[in-house]
Structure 1
Amino acid sequence: MAFFIHPNCQAASFALNTLGWMFSMICMGLARWRVWYMESISAPSRGLACIGLWKVCTYQSANLHSRKIECHRYSYSDTDLPLDIRIAQNLLLAASLLGLLGKALTVMGLRRVYAGQLQNDTTCSLFLTSGVLSIIAGAFILIAVTWNYHSVMNEEGIRFPPSFHIPFRPDRQEIGSTVSVAILAAFLMMLSGLLTTSFQPLPIIEVYPEVLQV
């Protein structure tokens, strides 16, 4: 049963979807999915490393605001990356594409709504498909977040190229701040999907003239 039938609700859903999609794109580029502390290792590996989906940044001191920062990017086809990072790359890319497609379908549906075509079955199909895509995109982001959390809790290592000067496993590691951005993106996209799938055209109310009996 649908509860939100006003077109403004669908416009609000579109805004939430846009925010979620933007946050998902942002968290792909940030490097703080994992934070590695390398305190007992000799230079030049000693310090701190922030590991993301597409790059890793090292700090020569244990301070994130240190000016001595060196970032190394790895390509999509880099086979040295662990399975969880490569899968997270695919999941975030798929989520961004699904979110973009969902946004396009929502725009098409809103055009029909504001044009007064509420009774067209195509309008309902557009919103339903858009909502499902947004929910799937949010689920993909949550899977990537969960896998990252599992890797950090199990203290799994990463075999970086020797030129990165990063050990296979740090002294300790923790979840980075980017995970919070990813969780927010997933929440917004899934909420947008739920609102969008709740669309239902207004029922047609037929008015019959009252016949007075003499």
Structure 2
Amino acid sequence: MNLPQWRVWCFEEPMESKPSLTLVGMWRTCVYHRENNSEFLRVCYQYTYQDTFIPLNIRVAQHLLLISSILGLIATISVIVALWKLYTGRLRKKITHNPFFVPGILNIIASVLVFISTLYNYLSIIRKDGIAFPPYFHIPNIPDNQKVGTALAMATLSSFLFLVGGTISISFTLPERSRPQSSI
């Protein structure tokens, strides 16, 4: 999530005050200025909560990604606890529920939140939305060319993996040997 390559802004015919490449991320922006014909100078700016230039789509995506991270962490801890109980045989004698159901639901919800964040960002790229960066960033408000970055592709893959993990957890059934034997 911290990678700055969510959006890649390219500028044609870079000038002194105009960068040649800008990477716009969820929590920072990195600007690449061409110093000589072959060297690039990289300057990164971290966002703060007080920054007013950050558009609503990035603010919403930040919050959705943080919530999905927390849900994913809770789901992982829940899976570890369920696996430990299953391994040690400490499941209740008359278990009637799937111990992996709650982690599965949490992973699916996390998947949806990450997917909404990536979709929101992708739509901003398609619409060619600009960002009114402060003047000291030395970045124009609208790039000449805007494309999808690698962090957006990784977030999409993450969303898919959360969904697969949640689906596997929900569809889990206890093996026959682990089910408690009822004595009649």
Q: Structure 2 length as normaliser, TM-score?
A: 0.87
Match of 1:87 among 30, 55, 60: 60
Secondary structure in structure 1 of the residue aligned to 2:10:
strand
- 2:146 is aligned to 173
State the Cα deviation string for residues 8-33 of structure 1 (Å, max 9, x = none): xxxxxxxxxxxxxxxxxxxx110000
Match of 2:172 among 199, 209, 213: 199
Task: Give the Å deviation of 1:200.
Answer: 2.4
Instruction: Return the structure number with greater relative CO, CA threshold 8 A, min gap 6.
Output: 1
- 2:159 is aligned to 186
Contact 2:19–2:31 (8 Å) recurs in 1: no
1: CA distance, partners of 2:173 / 2:47? 46
Match of 1:46 among 19, 25, 30: 19
Runs of 4+ in 1 over 6 A off after TM superposition: 205-208
Q: Are 1:121 and 2:82 counterparts?
A: no
- 1:7 is aligned to none
Contact 1:38–1:170 (8 Å) recurs in 2: yes
1: CA distance, partners of 2:57 / 2:139? 18
Structure 1 residue identity aligned to 2:21: L
- In the superposition, relative to structure 1, how do residues 106 and 77 fare at CA in structure 2: closer, same or farther (>3 Å)? farther
Match of 1:149 among 103, 117, 122: 122
Contact 2:8–2:24 (8 Å) recurs in 1: yes
2: CA distance, partners of 1:36 / 1:82? 16
Q: Are 1:75 and 2:48 counterparts?
A: yes
Which of 1 and 2 has greater Rg? 1
Q: Structure 1 length as normaliser, TM-score?
A: 0.75
Secondary structure in structure 1 of the residue aligned to 2:172:
coil
Q: Percent identity?
A: 36
Unaligned runs of 5+ in 2: none
From the two aligned structures, give the one with the greater helix fraction: 1
1: CA distance, partners of 2:94 / 2:121? 43
Unaligned runs of 5+ in 1: 1-27, 209-214
- In the superposition, relative to structure 1, how do residues 45 and 191 fare at CA in structure 2: closer, same or farther (>3 Å)? same
- 1:163 is aligned to 136
Q: Please report the RMSD computed on the Cα atoms of aligned residues, expressed in angstroms.
A: 2.2
- 1:32 is aligned to 5
Structure 1 residue identity aligned to 2:141: F
Task: Give the Å deviation of 1:76.
Answer: 3.2
Aligned residues: 177
Match of 2:111 among 119, 138, 151: 138
2: CA distance, partners of 1:77 / 1:191? 37
- In the superposition, relative to structure 1, how do residues 159 and 202 fare at CA in structure 2: closer, same or farther (>3 Å)? same
- In the superposition, relative to structure 1, how do residues 78 and 122 fare at CA in structure 2: closer, same or farther (>3 Å)? farther
